[in-house]
Amino acid sequence: MVNLSTESSSKKRYNVYYLTKKSVREITENTYLITFEENISFLPGQFCMIDVDGAGLTRKPFTLGKISHTELAISVKIAGKGSEYIVKTNEKLNVLAPLGNSFVPKSSNGTVIVAPSCLAEGIHLSEYFDIPLFVASKTELNEDIKHDFQINVALGNDGYLKLLKELNDSDFDWIFVSGSKIMEELAVKNMPKKVVYVSLNEYMACGIGACKGCAVETSPGIKHVCTDGPVFRGDEIWQIQR
Amino acid sequence: MANSKIINLRTPIVIASGPGGFGEYLNVNSIDWSYVGAYTLKTITLNPKAGNKPPRIYASDSFMINRIGLENPGFKGFKEMIENGELDILFSHVPAILSLGGDSFEEYVEITRLVRPYLDKFLAIEYNFSCPNVHHGGLSIMSDRDEWRRLLKEIRRETDAFIIAKLGIESGFIEQMAKIVALEGWDGVTVINTIRGLMVNPDGQVLLGGLSGPTLYPIALRAVYEVRRTLPDIFIIASGGIYKPYQVKEMLNFGANAVSIGSALFQNEEVINEIGRELVNNTNK
């Protein structure tokens, strides 16, 4: 299963939305959950590109999420001026969406692990497929966030590796992982018994397949995160010994 | 040197070859295509190219570096795209310019012959002589001045199309390069292309690629100025670091016939509307 989408990329239309922030909550240090007044139509796994009003030369990509099946949300880790603008501005955000393919697993017997920077996507997948949500974080999550979204936290490197070991021996058919490259690679290599899906976050410029900048090497050859992904099977990205 | 061909663009705004891909921006619903004079396709080479290994792109606050490596489906893939109607949406909204490149003298000539049946769909052909990403093409063709000149002559002999040479600044003074292009009977030049640069991304990976973005603007403006001073009649597409309406006006004032929007699309593709509106308002005043 190379392409996880049921859609044809040639028929895609991308819309620009002007979104009003409803709430900005701190998930953990430097990382925020932003919800919006407006809604947009998208499917699990898809992402958006947000204009940073001159605080960078490219729109910045974020996985899309929904809370309680209704409230549009993204999570943002402040990593530079662009992401800082997105968190701090009170202006409407200019958002190009929905981008990429939807994630369509073969069964609903899976689970999802995200970094705090992908929490919105994690909450969405957890609610959409009615599956448990794990957050792997270097620092403790704020109590109200943990409580509100019934999050299981794997804290630090040891906590994360312990979680991966447990999930590798679990009955889940698949594990969806969205976070840093290192986090995703660890998941793929430490859960050889499972089908691991990873949502890749290669540097992007256009987000729509024009520039060919977000190339990744996969076992079938070069793919592009924005049009072939962003979700890939982990064993297409990293070799594992089963 | 004189030639009688003219190209009438409905507006002086051109989408640059590369950032615009093969018309993907037509899928973005917010762009008013009536503001665009021409959409230049990504460079097609005789044989398909998989492009460079990742990472391919990274940006700072004022410039970006890409090393895409001319990823393209080759002539056969291009032919299929046209025959399958994949470019029809593009053709129905905006005039198109074809971009051709090659790894050798022979490849440039061959692809020039092969695209002949499809030229009714294009306003012009832009030849990519300066993409610094490909080891055996791009710069190497221009670095042997005699061979490049023979190539210009040969391409001119092979096609009646409106032909434009895209020139970088690393093969000598650009006005001298443009003079050679004009002497061989070509119709236009696009100045400038990306310049070789190096940057390190947050993962510590070194990107050796082509530098683009706002940093290029004054270099491109000087290039347009020099080429126009040397060649009063050649058609000039200005390209390099154009992000703002005032820069478009400046380029046109210094002698460009059209301006090319490239990396600015990545900041927000609505830059086309912003520039277009300003140009229209300016014209109507």
Say how far apart CA B253 and CA B255 lie, in whole Å. Answer: 5
For A17, nearest residue in chain B (alpha carbons): B30
pLDDT of residue A106: 86
Give this complex's ipTM. 0.94
| Domain identity same for A145 and A222 | yes
By C-alpha distance, which of A196, A161, A159 is closest to A176?
A196
CA-based torsion, A128, A202, A135, A56: positive or negative: negative
Q: Please state, as a whole number, how many other Cβ atoms lie within 10 Å of the Cβ of residue B213.
A: 26
Helix (H, G, I), strand (E, B) or coil at A231: strand
User: Which CATH number does the domain housing residue A54 bear?
Assistant: 2.40.30.10
pLDDT of residue B130: 67
Beta partners for B126? B99, B164
- Do residues A151 and A140 make contact, with C-beta atoms less than 8 angstroms apart? no
CATH of B13-50+70-195+213-284, one of 3.30.1360.80, 3.20.20.70, 3.30.70.1290, 3.10.620.30: 3.20.20.70
Q: Is B216 a catalytic residue?
A: no
The pLDDT tens digits of the residues spanning B33-47 come to 999 999 999 999 999
| Domain identity same for A158 and A229 | yes
B123, containing H or E segment: strand B122-128
Tens digit of pLDDT at every position of chain B (285 positions)? 344 577 889 999 999 999 999 999 999 999 999 999 999 999 999 999 999 999 999 999 999 999 999 999 999 999 999 999 999 999 999 999 999 999 889 999 999 999 999 999 999 999 998 654 444 544 568 888 898 999 999 999 999 999 999 999 998 999 999 999 999 999 999 999 999 999 999 999 999 999 999 999 999 999 999 999 999 999 999 999 999 999 999 999 999 999 999 999 999 999 999 999 998 877 765
pLDDT of residue A239: 83
pLDDT of residue A12: 81
Q: Do B267 and A81 touch (CB under 8 A)?
A: no
Q: Please state, as a whole number, how many other Cβ atoms lie within 10 Å of the Cβ of residue B230.
A: 15
Q: Model-level pTM?
A: 0.94
pLDDT of residue A242: 63
- Chain A residues whose CB is inside 8 A of the B54 CB are 202, 214-217, 222
User: Which CATH number does the domain housing residue A149 bear?
Assistant: 3.40.50
The position carrying tokens 């010994």 is A241
Most distant pair of Cα atoms in chain B: their distance: 53
| Domain identity same for A95 and A119 | no
Q: CB-CB: which of B27, B53, B68 is closest to A14? A: B27
Query: DSSP letter string over B171-233?
Result: TB-HHHHHHHHHHTT--EEEE---EEEEEE-TTS-EEEEEEESGGGHHHHHHHHHHHHHH-SS
Residue A104 resides in a domain: no
Number of domains making up chain A: 2
| Domain identity same for A61 and A143 | no
Say yes or no: A156 contacts chain B, CB-CB below 8 A: no
For A98, nearest residue in chain B (alpha carbons): B28
| Domain identity same for A90 and A137 | no
Say how far apart CA B123 and CA B153 lie, in whole Å. Answer: 21
Q: Which domain holds residue A213?
A: 110-237
pLDDT of residue B64: 97
Beta partners for B127? B100, B165
Residue A105 resides in a domain: no
Q: How far apart are the first and last CA of chain A?
A: 18
Residue A167 resides in a domain: yes
- pLDDT under 70: residue ranges of chain A: 1-11, 241-242
Q: How far apart are the first and last CA of chain B?
A: 37
| Domain identity same for A77 and A164 | no
| Domain identity same for A198 and A164 | yes
> Alpha carbon of B10 to those of A148, A231, B96, B159, B254: distances in Å?
56, 41, 12, 24, 20
pLDDT of residue A9: 44
Q: Where are the beta strands (DSSP E) in chain A?
A: 15-19, 21-28, 31-36, 47-50, 60-63, 65-67, 71-77, 93-99, 110-114, 133-137, 152-155, 174-178, 195-199, 215-218, 221-224, 231-233
Beta partners for A153? A135
| Domain identity same for A232 and A114 | yes
Instruction: Take residue B103 and report the two structure tokens written for it.
Output: 């790894």
Query: What are the boundaries of each domain within chain B?
Result: 13-50+70-195+213-284
The pLDDT tens digits of the residues spanning A215-232 come to 999 999 999 999 999 999
| Domain identity same for A216 and A131 | yes
Q: CB-CB: which of A94, A205, A212 is closest to B266? A: A205
**Which one of B49, B199, B215, B266 makes the best mutation probe of the A interface by having the most chain A beta carbons within 10 Å?**
B266
- Pairing between β-strand B258-261 and β-strand B235-239 as defined by DSSP bridges: parallel
- Pairing between β-strand A65-67 and β-strand A21-28 as defined by DSSP bridges: unpaired
Residue type, B168: G
The pLDDT tens digits of the residues spanning A9-28 come to 446 899 999 999 999 999 99
- Do residues A51 and A106 make contact, with C-beta atoms less than 8 angstroms apart? no
> Alpha carbon of B105 to those of B58, B86, B146: distances in Å?
32, 29, 12
By C-alpha distance, which of A142, A143, A234 is closest to A191?
A234
